[in-house]
Amino acid sequence: MSIASQLEALSTNLTAAKNAVTTKGGTVGDTGLAGLASEIATIPSGGSEDWGEVTFKTSAMESPQTVTIGNEDEYNLLTVYNAAHTIGGESFYNSDILSVKLGTSASYAPRNFLRASTNLTTIIGVENIKVVLDDFLYGCSSFNSELDFKNLHSVGTYFMRDCSAFNSTLKLGKITYIAGNFMDGCTSFSKTLTVPSTVNYVDVFFMNNCNNVTSLVVNAPSSNTNLKTSNNTLATTDNTAPIYSTGVTLTGTEASRWKNRFDDRSSSPYRKLILGV
C-alpha cells in the first residue's frame, strides 16, 4: 500500500469519525486525529455518565469480581494492555478481564481498546458505540459473543485482529468506512457477514486468514476506487482451509464488482471467489 493510499485512507476514516461526532451533537474543529478523542467527549450524555462495568478475575482471586467504570479516564485505561490499571478501586490487567458491559456514555472505542484481553469472552452494550479506532479487541483470543453495532460509523485498522475463537454474529450497523486488516486472523469465523450499503470504502487485507468463511454478502462500495485490491483480501495461507478449498460465495448488489476486483490465486495467499445467484 503506497504512502498516498495510506494518507487517503486516514483522511477518509478521520472524516467519517468526525461526522459521527457532529451527528450526535458533539463539536469538532481542525484538530486532525490528535483532537478526535477530546471531540468525542463533547457529545452530550443527556444525563449522568454511565461508562459500564468490568468483570475480572486475577490469579489470586477465588471468584470473579465486577467493578463499575467510574469515569472516562477509567474507561480509557482499558487500552493499557501491557501493565496493570486501577478501575473502580481495583487493580488488574487486561488479561484478567472476563466480560465487559458498556454503558450509554461509551460512544467510542479508543485505540487498543481491550487489546490482549485474552480471557475476555463477552461484551454487551456495543450498540452505544459510534466510532472504533485502531486495534479494537486485538488479540482477544477467547472472545466469542454477538456484536450488533447498531450505530457504528467507522472502524480503524486491525479490527478484531486474531480473535481466533470468534464465531458469533457480527452486524456492522451504519458503517461507512472499513480500514485495513479487518478481522485479520479470525480463523474460526464461519458466519455470513454482510457489508452494508452504507459502506463507501474498504481497505486492504479484508478478512485475511478468516479460514472458515465460505459466504459473504457485499452491498458496497459502489466504485472500484474505494474497494482496494490486495492479494490478502478474502485469502489464506492455508490451502486446506474452507475459505479456499470450498471458496467464498459472493452475493449482494456489489458481488460482481468484488469478484472482478479480486482474482483467484493458486499460490499463497490462496483465494477462491464464487459469484452467487
The pLDDT of 143-155, averaged and rounded, is 96
Q: What is residue 154's predicted lDDT score, i.e. its pLDDT?
A: 94
Region 106-110 average pLDDT: 97
pLDDT number for residue 60: 94
Element (H or E) spanning 6, and its range?
A: helix 3-23
Q: Predicted confidence band at 113 (pLDDT cuts at 50, 70, 90)?
A: very high
Residue 42 has pLDDT above 80, yes or no: no
B/e letters for 79-104, b = 16+ CB within 10 Å, e = fewer, are: bebeeebebbebebbbbbbbbbbbbb
Q: What pLDDT digit, counting tens, does each position of 186-213 carry?
A: 999 999 999 999 999 999 999 999 999 9
Confidence at residue 9, expressed as pLDDT on a 0 to 100 scale: 60
- The pLDDT assigned to 38 comes to 72
Mean of pLDDT values over 97-117: 98
pLDDT band at 24 (very low <50, low <70, confident <90, very high): low
Gyration radius of the chain's alpha carbons: 19
On whether the CB atoms of residues 69 and 54 are closer than 8 A, the answer is yes
Is the pLDDT at 46 greater than 60, yes or no?
no
- Collect all residues with Cβ–Cβ distance below 8 Å to 89 and sequence separation of at least 6: 67
Is the pLDDT at 184 greater than 70? The verdict is yes
Dihedral over alpha carbons 104, 199, 238, 139 (to 10 degrees)? -20
Most distant CA pair in the chain: distance in Å? Answer: 57
Given pLDDT bands bounded at 50, 70 and 90, which one contains residue 6?
low
C-alpha 9/C-alpha 204 separation (Å) is 10
Distance CA 34, CA 28 (A): 12
Q: What's the order of all strands across the beta sheet hosting 193-195?
A: 193-195, 215-218, 248-251, 273-275
pLDDT band at 2 (very low <50, low <70, confident <90, very high): low
What band does 48 get if pLDDT is binned at 50, 70 and 90? confident
Instruction: Encode pLDDT of 231-270 as tens digits.
Output: 999 999 999 999 999 999 999 999 999 999 999 999 999 9
pLDDT of residue 238: 98
pLDDT computed for residue 7 by the predictor = 55
pLDDT of 44 above 70: no
3-state secondary structure 111-162: CCCCCCCCCCCEEECHHHCCEECCCCCCCCCCCCCCEECCCCCEECCCCCCC
Tell me: pLDDT of 1 over 90: no
Identify the pLDDT of residue 107: 96
Mean residue pLDDT across the chain: 92
**Across 143-154, average pLDDT:** 96
Output the pTM of the full model: 0.84
String of DSSP letters for 11-69: HHHHHHHHHHHHHTT----S-TGGGHHHHHTTS--SSS---EEEEE--TT-SS-EEEE-
How far, in Å, are 156, 197, 216, 239 from residue 178 at the CA level?
7, 12, 15, 26
pLDDT at residue 228 in the model: 97
